[in-house]
Structure 1
Amino acid sequence: MAASRRASFDQSRRAPSAGGAPPRAVDPDGLRAEAARVLSRATKRLDKARARAAACTQREAELFVDPAPFDADLMALPNRAELASAEASEAAREAALRQLVEIIAELDTKAPRLPYRTYMCADGAEIRVGRTAPKNDRLGCDAEHRDADNCWLHASGRPGRPGSHVVVRACQLGGAELPREVEMNVAMLAAKDSKANTGGATRSCHSFGSLLNQCRIPLHGPTWTCMSKDYPYQMQAFSPNEVATWGTFIQSIVPLIAHERTPFKEVPAGRTLRWDAHTRAELADGAMPAASDEEIRISVTADWGAGTMEADAVGAGMAGMSPHYTVHMGDVYFMGAAAEYDTNFWGVPGWPTGKGVKFPEGSRGMFTLTGNHEMLSQGDTYFNSVLPRCGVKNDDGSLAGMPTSFGAIETAHWRVIMIDDSYNSYPDGALSAALDSLDLKAECKMPDSHVAWLARVLGDPNDKRGIILMGHHNYRNAFANSCIDHAKQIAGVLPGEREIVWLYGHIHSFQMQNAPAKVDNDRNPLKAWSRCLGYGAFTQSVPPDTASFDTETTQAWDRRLYKTLTLTSATGPKDEDVVFNGWAELRLNGPQAKLRYYTFGCAGGNCTGGGPSFDYADKTELATETFVVQSTGDVALVEQQLSGSLQLTSLPPPVANVAPMLAVHEPYVN
């Protein structure tokens, strides 16, 4: 490889021309998104103006047919002329904005294709690799694409095979020589993009899609790490239809085959793992939280640890609810390893120019549970490094740590029970885990000591407080078989056939299942209002419009299209339609528990652009429901509102006052 180096690496970029700064460029994509957002608001204002005018007209008609209307009713009528004027004004504004959006939509935003591919090193150096032989010449010779102080390199091809030209924007680095790691990166990229390479392990970040245009190639280590422009990963990296997903997974798990499973954390002596939701104090055996008028807010999701911009949007939405507690019901991808927790959960940047994604903390605590993916790495990172960084908060705001992978948050009326149903996901070790996960298998039976703790916490027949379970593995699923071993264990410790609420993940979609009318040990061991929240961040194809499993209980699910991914499958290019990601908010207020289910909103309502332009305040509310604990300890659904965008089954409504709601709501105000 020949190289022509610049004289000095400490020169800065060339100064702007004497004519001053160039005119500010227009961002058509940003302009389009902002115009769409303003139009969306204007449409809502127009709808409200029309609704007010229509309500006035209807009320007038009702009063005019009344032979003796009350004067007070007549005086209460709004000024119809003013309402009509307001409606006309909003209609004119909406029409003008709609025309503006149509004009902006026609702007040509496609930039000319550059003659090179761009990669970024971990230390910020930009590497440009020529696409073809003619474009190699443009990259190496045109001043438009290289400067005098850049480093130009050439990989010679074998006879009859063209080589590759590479330019390093070396002015971004300090020192007189290229760092050795940059040279190695350049060498591998040049070899990969030339025809000289006829074998060996090379990989392009572009295989994941256009957002993954920055790549770090470590000098030491078995894998290449491809990242999106701003986030550790993007959705394509987790699709089972993406070839590279399985390669990364297999490369990650092979070193762990000889590892033993981390020992299960038992309940420490003298501990109950029951925390008062109001005071954060750990309750003694037999003690009950004092009654309080304070409403407790808990934000919860599952399958969130993906490190994508979608995960960041969901986390911001959860934090925006000002929760007292946040709960993650398991799965940090790919396998809950330390580096994955760093970037995908704790928010540590994966490299100097990137960023990490941090799970939000509640004002009083943050809990994270096991998922089957944490157990792919035998639970080492989760049990030894993650648990000490979670739990309720101390007075100084630090997290006190979780001694085990389960626990309870309690009020005078409710018990929120967080369970570990994933420790035994792969009981036969990492090799079994690899094979089972390829076949999408995982067990959900809880350890005996965990069940013994549940018996102490839930077994008192005189404790009539409502029960809300949170755990990773699903008790229900509209589209495949479910694991019910954990449900049988819980049924075995409950006093009688208690009716409960169960929030879970594992299935990467939002689903709602009703409590079964009858209990049987084979299919319905529990009377549970089951809600699947596994749509935290992981990729999920749009589900069918018909449920094929749990048809006797499935009520609704979300199958709206978020965006279409372009993948590289085993058989060639493949498009995959995926659904939205989201979270739930639980509010405990006396004997009442209100659940709201959300997905994130995007700027101007447009989520197809793929850019990190989420408008966190603009969220979609899928459903709202209210449960009330009865004197028997059963949890009854008393009120429910469902979005018109949900897919519904033909089951009768589970409660008399089920009301429809709009597909998109105004931002919820705490």
Structure 2
Amino acid sequence: MSEKSKQHLEKYLDLGHNQVENHAKTQQKIFEKKTGEHATVTRKLSEFFKTNIVAFAWHYLRSRFGVRHPYWAYPRHGQSGCFRLQSSRSHQDGVTLALASDWASDTVESDRIGALIATHVPDYTIHLGDIYFVGTEAEVRENFTAPYASWYYGPSGSLALSGNHEMYSNGNAYFNHLLPAMYVREGETVMTQQAGFFCLENDHWRIIGLDTGYTSVERPLVEIISPPDCHLRKEQLAWLRDVVKIGDPADRRGIVILSHHPYLSAFREAYSRPAEQLQELMGEAQRPIIWFWGHDHRMVLYKMAQIGHGPMVYGRCIGHGGMPVETDPAESKEEQAKILLYDRRVRVVVKGHPVGYNGFVKLSLQGPELEAQYIDLDNRVVAREHWLVDTKNGQLDWELIESLSELAE
């Protein structure tokens, strides 16, 4: 590993999951960029107090107590939020999607993952959230949308969900700068993303992106009294009920859910409320669903499980897109028992921290079949699994086709 790569990783090691530290990191990045252009220590010190302390305090307070961006919901600007899946190749019936989460970190690893996704040429690319450090306009541009950034825009569509980091800046840059750069194609028509959730569908599958980011951050003191539960807002619930019609008993297509926050976790807090809301809309029928999320900076395949009053899911954590990948084990045997496969391979040790392999997921849909390939930054298939949906009853047949022998179970 090069010295530059190690320096990039060091910026994120020991980064806490709180707004104060992330806002400080954002200002530190601005400070380093400005002071790097000046040679004298005096100028560096003056720039520190000018750009780091004052700007940090102002931006942090404005974000914590300022007005949150208005919530955008479908239907909006003539769009329903439901889009037909289509291949970008006229001779091909199948559709491919690349999923990455916690990717927009402006690290050497995120660049490698972005470039690697491009070599697979997926029809769609979807980011499951978190633009570091706090999703400001500059970070959205530099880490994601700029021509020199490495995000690959799928020819059929490129969509983005919100994580908690985008909301550390009240979601302003996410709604005003990221979503207008995202799009989906239907036939020859190209439409920009108009809300933080969506549904991509065909005759056999529905891939539904949920917004758990907007309600993942609360005001000081309020978050102590009532911790954020990432619940789905009423506008999103109405869309799921009335537009997606997710509770329609006659619709037995396979369901794939995408979100930033986890339904279950063996490492950090899980958020079951969105899943419970989803199950309430789906009704009494117990249909298994496939669920991909990020937030935890790991690659974990969980055993099929049902938490609380939520649905039965094949849960998959893919938060290893661009951040230093954590490899520590689950703390208890009870938590370890939730895990089917966990990539704990150590790629490099930086400042005493074992860091794992970044990666992404490639989904291939062909009729009633869905295959997921988990690909690391060396372009190795870490694991491959297959589902078959029975559209008569909505049930799923699952098979783990292969996995690296080094993966911890």
Give the TM-score, by structure 2 length.
0.82
Does the 8 A contact of 2:86 with 2:95 survive in 1? yes
Structure 1 distance, partners of 2:87, 2:116, is 25
Per-residue CA deviation, residues 285-339 of structure 1 (Å, 9 max, x unaligned), is: xxxxxxx971100000101110011000111111111100000000001111100
Matched, 1:629 2:389: yes
Matched, 1:275 2:83: yes
Does the 8 A contact of 1:512 with 1:530 survive in 2? yes
Does the 8 A contact of 2:360 with 2:376 survive in 1? yes
Q: CA deviation at 1:525?
A: 1.7
Structure 2 distance, partners of 1:259, 1:512, is 38
Cα 1:220–1:249 change in 2 (3 A) is: closer
Unaligned stretches of 5+ in structure 2? 3-31
Matched, 1:595 2:403: no
Q: CA deviation at 1:250?
A: 7.1
Structure 1 distance, partners of 2:165, 2:235, is 22
Partner of 1:468, secondary structure, is strand
Matches within 5 A, 1:256-405: 256-268=63-75, 270-278=78-86, 294-347=93-146, 356-393=148-185, 400-405=191-196
Cα 1:273–1:122 change in 2 (3 A) is: closer
Per-residue CA deviation, residues 441-472 of structure 1 (Å, 9 max, x unaligned), is: 75311101101211231111101110001110
**Matched residue, 2:279:** 491
**Matched residue, 2:41:** 188
**Matched residue, 2:202:** 411
Q: CA deviation at 1:539?
A: 2.1
Matches within 5 A, 1:126-165: none
**Matched residue, 1:135:** none
* Structure whose alpha-carbon radius of gyration is higher: 1
Q: CA deviation at 1:587?
A: 0.3
Task: Pick from 210, 214, 222 the counterpart of residue 52 of structure 2.
Answer: 222
Structure 2 distance, partners of 1:122, 1:371, is 26
Q: How many residues align?
A: 370
Q: Which has the higher contact order (CA 8 A, sep 6+)?
A: 2
Does the 8 A contact of 2:102 with 2:319 survive in 1? yes
Cα 1:254–1:362 change in 2 (3 A) is: same
Amino acid across the alignment from 2:361? A
Amino acid across the alignment from 2:322? A
Task: Pick from 296, 310, 322 the counterpart of residue 507 of structure 1.
Answer: 296
Task: Pick from 448, 459, 463 the counterpart of residue 234 of structure 2.
Answer: 448
Structure 1 distance, partners of 2:400, 2:298, is 23
Cα 1:186–1:301 change in 2 (3 A) is: same
**Matched residue, 2:212:** 421
Matched, 1:530 2:291: no
Cα 1:432–1:311 change in 2 (3 A) is: farther
Q: CA deviation at 1:558?
A: 0.9
Partner of 1:186, secondary structure, is coil
Q: CA deviation at 1:253?
A: 2.3
Structure 1 distance, partners of 2:115, 2:270, is 31
Does the 8 A contact of 1:388 with 1:400 survive in 2? no
Cα 1:273–1:554 change in 2 (3 A) is: same
Structure 2 distance, partners of 1:410, 1:317, is 26
Does the 8 A contact of 1:302 with 1:472 survive in 2? yes
Q: CA deviation at 1:342?
A: 1.1
Partner of 1:647, secondary structure, is coil
Matches within 5 A, 1:82-161: none
Cα 1:553–1:386 change in 2 (3 A) is: same
Q: CA deviation at 1:541?
A: 3.2
Matches within 5 A, 1:442-591: 442-456=228-242, 457=244, 458-495=246-283, 496-516=285-305, 519=306, 522=308, 525-544=310-329, 548=333, 550-566=335-351, 575-591=352-368
Does the 8 A contact of 1:547 with 1:554 survive in 2? no
Cα 1:550–1:528 change in 2 (3 A) is: farther
Structure 2 distance, partners of 1:345, 1:471, is 19
Q: CA deviation at 1:639?
A: 4.2
Amino acid across the alignment from 1:486? P
Matches within 5 A, 1:48-87: none
Structure 2 distance, partners of 1:578, 1:253, is 30
RMSD (CA atoms): 3.0
Does the 8 A contact of 1:304 with 1:332 survive in 2? yes
Does the 8 A contact of 1:278 with 1:296 survive in 2? yes
Give the TM-score, by structure 1 length.
0.51
Per-residue CA deviation, residues 572-619 of structure 1 (Å, 9 max, x unaligned), is: xxx222111110000000000000001112xxxxxxxxxxxxxxxxx2
Cα 1:469–1:547 change in 2 (3 A) is: farther
